[in-house]
Amino acid sequence: MQQIHREAMAGRTVLISGGTAGIGRATALGLAAMGAHLAIIGRDRGRTDHAAREIRAAGGGQVDVFVADLSSQAQVRHLADELLHNVPRIHVLINNVGGYWNTRHLTADRLERTFALNHLAAFLLTNLLLDRLRQNGPSRVVTVSSNAHATGRIDFDDLQCERSYSGTRAYNQSKLANILFTYELARRLQATSVTANALHPGVTSTTFGAEDPSRAQRLFVPLMRPFMKTPARGAVTSIHLASAPDLAQVTGQYFTNSKPKRSSKRSYDEAAAARLWRVSADLVGLSAAPTTA
């Protein structure tokens, strides 16, 4: 595990979605120990306040709390307004929130929940905060994907899994979308001081998927848990991408175990990435115009 330097992130503000438990909470703890000012986003007020108290008690400094269900576009927009009003500087945005559902669920926007939370929430929040990130450059966008993207495919004819639903297929599609989004964002931000990278945290022991687990999860996860990473170890690559000085100008890369790695062949399809950007912009009501300085 990488060595943590107490003041390495002093003066830097880091925003983490899904920062109340698992990898997100461990990422917040690690960056707080490096002197960062944290802003954590959670869905539940009580859990988010509790996580903030834990981070402060562990030696973290300032920890701001924001509450939003990021599967709802209205709540993402309200959150962005709150952040822009209350957090004058954002140096790192970590798109960490994500989920898995064995059965098909719809959001308040009548979108399939996996695609809405795992991809569209990051797409919308990042775009709404880009001006603030540019103003405080050099800054970074870090998006938590998964090696599950390697078996993912973007089905533009059925993005919402209306014809047939599989929790695994929906999840893998969303994780491929994370990487396509990251690479396209990096291309659009080439002339700026904002970098964009994605990562695989490793198979980590958390409550991920517990809300609506598959039969295989219920059977095999308890058996696999002793061999999984702890949340602290699962957070190492996120912390590295958020803080490592030698990554200040590295962009458009995929990392695992804190090292760059080739992602799947489909993830480098620039035409698919550009199309996904346009479709995503339409779904969240944003202009698909290039994101330039």
Instruction: Quickly list DSSP for 152-165.
Output: ----TT-TT--S--
d(C-alpha 113, C-alpha 111), whole Å: 6
- The pLDDT of residue 229 is 60
Q: How far apart are CA 210 and CA 218, in angstroms?
A: 9
pLDDT(88) > 80? yes
Sheet architecture: strand order including 13-17: 63-67, 37-42, 13-17, 92-95, 139-144, 194-200, 253-256, 259-260
Contact between 38 and 60 under an 8 Å Cβ cutoff? The reply is: yes
Mean per-residue pLDDT of the chain: 89
pLDDT for res 217: 56
Q: What is the mean pLDDT of residues 261-282?
A: 98
Catalytic-role residue among 171, 183, 254, 268:
171
Predicted local confidence at residue 291, as pLDDT: 54
What pLDDT was estimated at residue 15?
Answer: 98
Annotation marks residue 254 as catalytic: no
Is 139 a residue whose pLDDT tops 50? yes
* 218-229 average pLDDT score: 53
Average of pLDDT values for 122-129? 98
Contacts of residue 125, defined as CB under 8 A and 6 or more positions apart, other chains included, come to 17, 70, 76, 79, 80, 93, 95
Task: Give the torsion through C-alpha atoms of 141, 289, 149, 48, to 10 deg.
Answer: 40
The model's confidence at residue 158, banded by pLDDT at 50, 70 and 90, is very high
Query: What is the spatial distance between Cα 288 and Cα 277, in angstroms, rounded to a whole number?
Result: 7
The per-residue pLDDT for 149 is 95
Say if residue 155's pLDDT is above 70: yes
Band of the pLDDT at 270, cuts 50, 70, 90? Answer: very high
Rg (C-alpha) for the chain, rounded Å, is 18
Q: Are 144 and 98 in contact (CB under 8 A)?
A: yes
* Confidence at residue 209, expressed as pLDDT on a 0 to 100 scale: 47
pTM: 0.89
Asked if residue 237 has pLDDT above 80, the reply is: yes
The band of 244, judged by pLDDT with boundaries at 50, 70 and 90, is very high
Under the banding of pLDDT at 50, 70 and 90, the label for residue 222 is low
Q: In whole angstroms, what is the distance from residue 289 CA to residue 92 CA?
A: 23
Thinking of the domain 13-284, which architecture would CATH place it in?
A: 3-Layer(aba) Sandwich (3.40)
CB-based burial, 145-155: b 16+ in 10 Å, e otherwise: bbbbbbebebe
**Integer Cα distance of 249 and 150 in angstroms:** 26
Question: How many residues are given for the chain?
Answer: 293
For residue 50, the Cα-to-chain-centroid distance in whole angstroms is 21
The amino acid that residue 226 corresponds to is P
Q: CA-CA distance, 32 to 233, in Å (whole number)?
A: 16
Distance of CA 235 to the CA centre of its chain: 12
Domain regions of the chain by residue span: 13-284
Comparing 53-67, 157-171, 174-188, which segment has the lowest mean pLDDT?
53-67
